[in-house]
Structure 1
């Protein structure tokens, strides 16, 4: 073994490996996101929207695209805290055949890659895709447990 290490210049040192994502952990996260997303989504028709209120913030879930095996949704945050805080947006794709949902884009940035070298010019985390999907999981859970959906009841059934 020492001859092999010497041949490759590994003389007593450890080889540094890049970030390796745990696929079972990631798939489990995306499966849970799929089930939670189904609970908060509006009817699956392009342009349909659902508003969810949490505290002083309003979140809007909109159906962007519907295909045979996928649905693309966008989640936007609007808040009354400050004019200096920008809008937050996640683009999420639901894969109906695999029953998983994952973040594909955030805040109008490029598509999210599975992993990034670190350091990198855009300061992405090595596991940024996992972190964004973990955030989505927390956000969906908060919506389910604490969110309020404003009701627009037409008391007169349009007979005014």
Structure 2
């Protein structure tokens, strides 16, 4: 007789930190000046997004990314709140617009049908979106040799 054990999902921390470090660098390329209330509009594929700095502190900056216009009228507009940790040089989705905080992992199945690795997936989506913005010329960022980002 075999016993099936339900193992909890364990996130790969090195993989997750690498994703958050890359998101930090990508987001720096798109951000307006780091002043609370500053905004920047990004247009990509007929959609319009607003990046707004909602909070600035010594070691963190909070950014709200919100879709303000879409070509498809029946789809809801999306958004997310991202926190940049300047001392660690990582950016992490604090919460997407469909629920509050994202837990590191969820049991499965669960009442809200979150994926086991929902936190990783939400941050991977942010990475894909930022990459699309940067690769399609939506950023004005000039690399300097000694800026400690590379």
TM-score > 0.5 by shorter chain: yes
| Structure-to-structure mapping, 1:145-160, within 5 angstroms | 145-148=135-138
Match of 1:115 in 2: 105
Q: Which has the larger radius of gyration?
A: 1
Matched, 1:89 2:76: no
Could you tell me whether the CA contact under 8 Å between 2:54 and 2:64 is conserved in 1? yes
Question: TM-score of the superposition, structure 2-length normalised?
Answer: 0.87
Question: TM-score of the superposition, structure 1-length normalised?
Answer: 0.82
Distance in structure 2 (CA, Å) of the matches to 1:146 and 1:24: 28
Alpha-carbon spacing, 1:147–1:78, altered in 2? closer, same or farther (3 Å): farther
Matched, 1:25 2:25: no
Unmatched runs of 5 consecutive residues or more in structure 2: 140-150
Unmatched runs of 5 consecutive residues or more in structure 1: 1-10, 150-160
* 1:93-126 per-position Cα deviation (integer Å, ceiling 9, x unaligned): 0000000000011115211111111111111111
Alpha-carbon spacing, 1:12–1:85, altered in 2? closer, same or farther (3 Å): closer
Could you tell me whether the CA contact under 8 Å between 2:70 and 2:77 is conserved in 1? no
Distance in structure 1 (CA, Å) of the matches to 2:22 and 2:114: 24
Distance in structure 2 (CA, Å) of the matches to 1:59 and 1:104: 18
Aligned match for 1:55, one of 22, 37, 45 = 45
Distance in structure 1 (CA, Å) of the matches to 2:42 and 2:137: 6
1:85: how far off? 1.9
Could you tell me whether the CA contact under 8 Å between 2:30 and 2:138 is conserved in 1? no
Could you tell me whether the CA contact under 8 Å between 1:59 and 1:76 is conserved in 2? yes
Distance in structure 2 (CA, Å) of the matches to 1:47 and 1:110: 22
* 1:49-79 per-position Cα deviation (integer Å, ceiling 9, x unaligned): 0111112101111000001110000111133
